[in-house]
């Protein structure tokens, strides 16, 4: 973790250069984003009067408040999204939603002028769903069983996310999540479209936004900046 934090500190210094007074950040969720925000906020606050943030979960809302970020309602767009990823393929498509905030993260990311994602190097693969990583699918509770059938017809193996004691996991939107295994994905954009068109699906954790900047965090404390425009 010390080396990861060192890499995140370097990413924070680079991101801080493009953040000024009045910038509104879209804040993804998860432990990596939380650590990045802790490193970034002192740098930004030191040179500006403050920075606004749109949080995508209660977890990151608490972190942002502690870091001195001025939380604001989502008004349809943000300047820069900072987020993490559960898996990144060679085309910089991503699986996200391990923390359950995929719907809000996708709404905010889709409104951003620019997107910066950070991920440890062990999360980079050739194709999504390699190494047994599942794709989270957020589903309205009423569609629990019908969505499972439809996802199976698409070649998926859905598994409803449960809490530790076996109770259903509910997102902050009141929906359930079907963590769905697929064969390594040849065309992420096509699968994203097909899953999203399934009746009862609120959102799918395949993220294919472009342009995007992804920071690959090395185990030696370094980072590599990757860019995709298509």
Active site members: 105
What is the Cα–Cα distance from 16 to 45, expressed in whole angstroms? 10
Q: What whole-number distance in Å separates Cα of residue 55 and Cα of residue 203?
A: 18
Residues 34/64, Cβ–Cβ less than 8 Å: no
Structure tokens at 226: 């990757």
Q: Going by C-beta distance under 8 Å and a sequence separation of 6 or more, which residues neighbour residue 49?
A: 21
The Cα–Cα gap between 5 and 25 comes to: 21
User: Three-state SS for 62?
Assistant: helix
């Amino acid at each position: 973790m010390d080396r990861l934090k060192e890499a995140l500190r370097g990413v924070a210094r680079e991101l801080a250069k493009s953040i000024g007074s009045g910038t509104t950040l879209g804040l993804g969720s998860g432990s990596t984003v939380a650590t990045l925000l802790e490193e970034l906020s002192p740098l930004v606050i030191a040179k500006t009067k403050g920075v606004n943030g749109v949080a995508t979960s209660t977890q990151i809302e608490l972190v942002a408040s502690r870091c001195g970020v001025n939380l604001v309602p989502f008004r349809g767009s943000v300047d820069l999204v900072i987020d993490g990823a559960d898996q990144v393929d060679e085309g910089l498509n991503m699986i996200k939603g391990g923390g359950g905030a995929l719907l809000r993260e996708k709404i905010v990311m889709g409104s951003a002028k620019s997107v910066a994602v950070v991920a440890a190097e062990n999360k980079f693969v050739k194709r999504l769903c390699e190494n047994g990583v599942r794709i989270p699918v957020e589903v309205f509770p009423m569609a629990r069983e019908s969505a499972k059938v439809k996802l199976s017809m698409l070649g998926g193996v859905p598994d409803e996310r449960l809490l530790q004691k076996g109770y259903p996991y509910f997102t902050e939107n009141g929906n359930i999540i079907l963590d769905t295994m697929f064969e390594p994905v040849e065309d992420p954009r096509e699968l994203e479209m097909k899953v999203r068109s399934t009746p009862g699906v609120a959102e799918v954790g395949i993220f294919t936004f472009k342009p995007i900047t992804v920071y690959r965090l090395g185990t030696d404390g370094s980072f590599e900046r990757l860019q995709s425009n298509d």
